[in-house]
């Protein structure tokens, strides 16, 4: 390592919070530069040596992470104003000081650890699974066309990371909108040849409070999704399906 990089420091401003009820505050950190560092690597540095930029001893910053390859969604946080995964946020590509905040659309547990439980509740509510249990062997399910499998696979990439909910202006404390991610899962499971058998039930669920109508078409979700899931296409497709369901029911078909 050259002396130049050795002397370089990375500046961080972390929005911290003791627990769910305490007030958030900002704390600055300076850590020695290493090439190819990601935000998690930087946070680990703070963990090893919990001293802030003023040289005061402090508590290490808490965060969550698992896979470190952007497939689990656990390390989502707001980095320089945009929600994303800390594991793929490379320090070399970020403007400094790097601003790190929790995705405060969700309840903040501590520092940048958030509770994404509402998303899992929504997935349960819309029954985002394929029911295959029977009292006897139901045999193989119907086949899925390859052309359909290809776009459905894109929807299955959702890792419930919560970035789309954080970006959505309609997901906030004033509404009970479930957000784009669980809605897109409704489309995924309705597209499955076996899951399709329960599609009316899923559509009925999202035609209730907190469901599809909460979308205001700001389309931030599709711009923010780290997996490039066509969330707004999913929502519009569900709009089409629920419109059909609406008329089918009214006309008693």
Partner 1 sequence: MKGEHSYMKLNSFYSRKLHSLLGVIPLGLFLVEHMLTNYEAFSAGKEGFIEQVVWLNSLPLVLFLEIFGIWLPLLYHGVYGLYIAFQAKHNVNNYGYVRNHMFMWQRITGVITLIFVVWHFSDTRLQVALGNIGHEDLAAHMHNTLSSPIWFALYIVGIIAASFHFSNGMWSFLVSWGITVGPRAQRVSSYIWMGVFVILSVLFVLALTAFTDESFAFSTLESVQNQLG
Contact set with partner 1 (CB under 8 A): 81-82, 121, 125, 167, 169-170, 172, 174-176, 206-220, 223-224, 230, 232-233, 235-244, 246
Which of 27/241 has CB closer to partner 1? Answer: 241
Question: Of the two residues 125 and 157, which places its CB atom closer to partner 1 in the complex?
Answer: 125
Least distance CB 140 / partner 1 (angstroms): 31
Q: Which is nearer to partner 1, 9 or 246 (CB)?
A: 246
**Helix (H/G/I), strand (E/B), else coil: 34:** coil
Shortest reach from residue 174's CB to partner 1, in Å = 5
Q: Which is nearer to partner 1, 198 or 219 (CB)?
A: 219
Contact of 100 with 39, CB cutoff 8 Å: yes
Query: Least distance from C-beta 105 to partner 1, angstroms?
Result: 9
For residue 108, list its beta bridge partners. 114
CB of 86 to partner 1, least distance (A): 17
Q: Which residues contact 133 (CB under 8 A, 6 or more apart)?
A: none
Q: How far is the CB of 225 from partner 1 (least distance, A)?
A: 12
Whole-number Å distance between alpha carbons of 130 and 125:
14
For partner 1, the closer CB: 46 or 212: 212
Closest CA to 195 of 137, 122, 144, 150: 144
| % helix, strand, coil for the chain, step of 5 | 40, 15, 45
For residue 227, what are the CA distances in angstroms to 12, 15, 71, 81, 154?
A: 26, 26, 9, 19, 8
Nearest distance, CB of residue 239 and partner 1, angstroms: 4
Between 37 and 119, CB nearer to partner 1: 119
């Amino acid at each position: 390592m050259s002396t130049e990089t050795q002397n370089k420091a990375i500046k961080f401003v972390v929005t911290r919070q003791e627990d769910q009820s305490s007030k958030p505050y900002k704390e600055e950190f300076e850590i020695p530069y290493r090439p190819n560092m990601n935000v998690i690597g930087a946070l680990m540095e703070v963990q090893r040596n919990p001293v802030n930029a003023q040289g005061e001893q402090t508590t290490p910053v808490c965060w969550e992470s698992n896979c470190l390859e952007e497939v689990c969604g656990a390390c989502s946080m707001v980095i320089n104003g945009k929600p994303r995964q800390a594991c793929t946020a490379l320090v070399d590509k970020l403007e400094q000081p790097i601003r790190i905040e929790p995705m405060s659309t969700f309840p903040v547990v501590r520092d940048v650890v958030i509770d994404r439980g509402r998303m899992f509740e929504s997935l349960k509510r819309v029954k985002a699974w394929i029911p295959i249990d029977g009292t006897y062997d139901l045999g193989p399910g119907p086949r899925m066309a390859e052309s359909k499998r290809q776009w459905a696979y894109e929807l299955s990439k959702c890792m419930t990371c919560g970035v789309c909910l954080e970006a959505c202006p309609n997901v906030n404390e004033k509404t009970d909108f479930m957000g784009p991610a669980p809605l897109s899962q409704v489309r995924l499971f309705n597209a499955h040849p076996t899951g399709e058998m329960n599609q009316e039930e899923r559509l009925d669920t999202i035609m209730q409070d907190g469901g599809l109508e909460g979308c205001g078409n700001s389309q931030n979700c599709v711009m923010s999704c780290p997996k490039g899931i066509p969330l707004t296409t999913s929502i519009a497709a569900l709009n089409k399906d629920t419109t059909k369901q609406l008329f089918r029911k009214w006309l008693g078909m």
